[in-house]
Amino acid sequence: MRLNQDQDELPNRTADVSTEEASDWHPLCVQAANEAGAALACFVFFQGDQQAPAQKVGNRFRFTWQDEHYMAVWEQQRFYCALTGSDIGLNTNTSSHYLAVPVSRGRLRGLMLLEYPEPPAALSPPRRRALDILADHGALLWRERELNAHHRKREGSSRRLLSRLKALFNQAPILVNGFSAEGRCILWNDECERVFGWSFDELRQHPAPVSLFYPDPEEQRQVMESFCTHTSSEFREWRPFERAGRRLTMQWANIMLPNGDMLCVGHDISAQKDIGNRQRLAASVFESSYDGIMLTDANNHITHVNPAFTRITGYLPEEIVGRSPDLLRTEENADDFADEVRRHLENRDYWQGECRSRRKNGEVYSLLLAVSVIRDDDGQVLHHAAIFSDITYMKEHEAELKRQACHDVLTRIPNRLLFGELLERAISSAVRNEGKLAVCYLDLDGFKQINDSLGHAAGDRLLIEISKRLGLITRSCDALARLGGDEFALLFTGLHNDLECDEILERVLVVIREPLELDGQQVRVSASIGVALYPQDAEDAELLLRYADQAMYQAKKQGKNTYVFFDAEMHQQEHQRQQQLTQLIHAFRQGEFLLYYQPKIDLFSRQMIGMEALLRWQHPERGIVAPAEFLSIIIGSAMEFELGRWVIEQVLEQMTHWCRQGLKYRISFNVSAGQLMHPDFIDELSRLLNQHPEVSPSLLELEFQESAVLTDLHGAVAVLERCRQLGLSISFDNFGTGYSSLSHLNRLPVDIIKIDRSFICDLLSNAHDVSMVESVVQLAAALRMSVIAEGMEKSEQGERLLQLGCHYVQGYGISRPMPAEQVGVWLQGWNDKLPPH
């Protein structure tokens, strides 16, 4: 037996088995060679039904199998065949002989080839049986090999199928998960991780993963009960939470497996739910919106309208759907409006604005309209959506508010604000047409006496009647306004000469002098009128009105019931006033203003009850200048409010300094009419008080004069009430010098009355002054107000005031106004100047 054959590769049609398999065949080949007395043995097996060698096992032969020779031989003898190499095309170097033993088990599977150096002798029956047994054994080995190969093939297929199923499981666009009977997660695909945010590893390690989806214990219990109750392939809706805390809407079908595990399949319908909710919300908004909604198609035909549309326009859906929105237009600039909207929609896909439309009954109304373009994914227009609201009432109310803001509430004629606008327009027109204007400032003579004697209601009726009379003599191109109180303004346009203006003004004086019956009494008033001309006197609206005001005061001086034209001298006076105002503004910026303090004394207790802060100008050349020389220049200018604010701030600064020294003095300060009625006065006062928290507002006293409240008594009362609410006391300064002090006193929120110095200086010799002081003291007592007498210069005056019941005084007889740093020194010896009790 030759066991060391060359190990050349088998050519084309045959292939060796693996080394591992050869170890099983080698003993069998050795045993077969020994039994047959052959040099060597091998097995050649066929592939399926194809009778040609497919694989060779055992010792190696170097041969090329020739199909046709083998088949010829095999057809002649199907069992043992004695063959030569040439018979079956063996390509060998020696003339070997072969014996082919069929290997069959149910069918021919191959051959067991035995090699001999000489032609083999006939085999004995025992050897044949032995070889048959060996051949059967080879067939069994080969069958086993085939079965193993088949099993390996099936295992590979199963692995590939499992891999594909796993990929499909993870790539599936549906949610697939599973939970054990104990509630542990045993299955969790990638889609679940994407939707919920938790990985399989996280859930697998969690002892109760359901608590992640339903944090509320009660909800957990309900969900688990429902899961166990509804175990079918029917999809049901659930609302679990995802990792970020957002609640989802899911559809799940859960199947209970025989071992108690739960298999769940579902999908996330949150987006669909949101879309559905939005659609229902949109439908609800469409139906219930208070605003009208109209949809049109790409051809601008109406497709949908809501109930509010019908309510506003009067058109039912069946009357308007399919028609053009042009049906709703008015004829007012319809084409221009449509073109404007179309341009906006083409450029921006949106337009909003106010317009006018027409109802079914023909009524024109105002609306606030918004139009949007709705396009498809390709940018093509699908619809136009129009949302509108009826703003007719709002526009009418707005017009009324504007009218009220620009008109006097009492007389219904324009106020100062509107008159200024009308004057500006008239000047612009006059510039273009080289026209002439006359601005008249009119003040009624004798009005305050009638108002005091007959009451405010009668005075109001008088003002209404005067405004009507003036309205009758003004042309449509002219203007009439009430500036406040008993002051009016007139504007005459299109004048050719001064004579024409004289004629108009004479008519004005005549109609005002005509008698008027009020409360059964016939009364008369007259007018003092100042006139400024455009362009002779000024080309600025503010200057014209100011010049007319100055001329009106000249008319008052000339005896009233007349008119005076502004002239060069007045212009010079105004120019001088402007120069002085500029100088004062500069002085204020340079810090040349300061405050002096004049004490107020209780004559009975001989105690200082407070001080009044008084403004002074520290002139660099003239020294201390009293306010009587400069205050009238500041009044009416922008500096008035700024200076008044500065006074309050300085008072609070000084009071803070005194408070820190343990000195709590009550300080009063004066406010002018312009400061008191300034729209920012209360806000500024509140801000300054907040900035000085150490000063109690109860230590502050605000002093005003009657002139500060005459223009707008109602507004002044409101401002003074707010000052009281802030904690300040209110003092009526120079009481008794005005036209109607007593009538105003009952309406104003006043705590203190200051009797004017004019009643004190002749108190010792003038019985009328004594009566006046006594009356004021008694009136104040009845109204629970305090009284202070101003201008006490002699101790005898103090004694008389005490006799009349007036305990509080102020004046040079006590102390002149002094700087704050001298107050302490003065307090040490001031008692010596007081009169005896």
Average pLDDT along the chain? 83
- Quick one: average pLDDT of 598-609? 93
Boundary-marking domain end, from 151, 180, 211: 151
More confident residue, 687 or 166: 687
Per-residue pLDDT at 322 exceeds 80: yes
- Quick one: average pLDDT of 279-290? 82
Nearest to 733 by CA among 760, 707, 714: 707
pLDDT at 158: 57
Same domain, 510 and 596: no
Same domain, 620 and 755: yes
DSSP state of 497: S
Within a domain: 818? yes
CATH label of the domain that carries residue 781: 3.20.20.450
CATH label of the domain that carries residue 29: 3.30.450.40
CA distance 410 to 598: 42
pLDDT at 609: 94
Same domain, 427 and 351: no
CA distance 518 to 563: 26
CA distance 742 to 755: 12
Per-residue pLDDT at 204 exceeds 70: yes
Nearest to 809 by CA among 755, 745, 761: 755
What predicted TM-score, i.e. pTM, was given to this entire model?
A: 0.45
Q: What's the token pair of residue 693?
A: 């928290």
> CA distances (Å), 396 to each of 167, 393, 811, in order?
72, 5, 58
Mean pLDDT comparison of 130-134, 471-475, 570-574, 735-739, highest-scoring range: 471-475
Q: Which of 57-61, 135-139, 385-389 has the lowest mean pLDDT?
A: 57-61
pLDDT at 532: 94
pLDDT at 79: 46
pLDDT at 10: 31
More confident residue, 820 or 348: 820
Same domain, 363 and 420: no
Same domain, 751 and 794: yes
Per-residue pLDDT at 571 exceeds 80: no
SS3 184: coil
Same domain, 412 and 519: yes
pLDDT at 86: 53
| Residue-number span of the structural domain to which 54 is assigned | 15-151
Within a domain: 577? no
Same domain, 420 and 519: yes
The answer for 309, left when phi > 0, alpha when psi is -120 to 50, beta otherwise, is alpha
Contact at 8 Å (CB) between 518 and 450?
Answer: yes
Contact at 8 Å (CB) between 739 and 452?
Answer: yes
Count of structural domains within the chain: 5
SS3 193: helix
Same domain, 252 and 216: yes
- Quick one: average pLDDT of 66-82? 46
What band does 654 get if pLDDT is binned at 50, 70 and 90? very high
Within a domain: 425? yes
- Type of residue numbered 385: A
Same domain, 188 and 256: yes
User: Which residues, 6+ apart, have CB-to-CB distance to 758 below 8 Å?
Assistant: 736, 737, 791
- Quick one: average pLDDT of 480-503? 91
Within a domain: 278? no
Q: Which of 225-229, 573-577, 735-739, 769-773 has the lowest mean pLDDT?
A: 735-739
Contact at 8 Å (CB) between 615 and 595?
Answer: yes
Same domain, 669 and 757: yes
Boundary-marking domain end, from 331, 363, 396: 396
Boundary-marking domain end, from 540, 566, 592: 566
What band does 658 get if pLDDT is binned at 50, 70 and 90? very high
Within a domain: 9? no
CA distance 673 to 77: 145
pLDDT at 230: 63
Within a domain: 837? no
β-strand partners of 293? 387
Q: Which of 83-92, 477-486, 550-559 has the lowest mean pLDDT?
A: 83-92
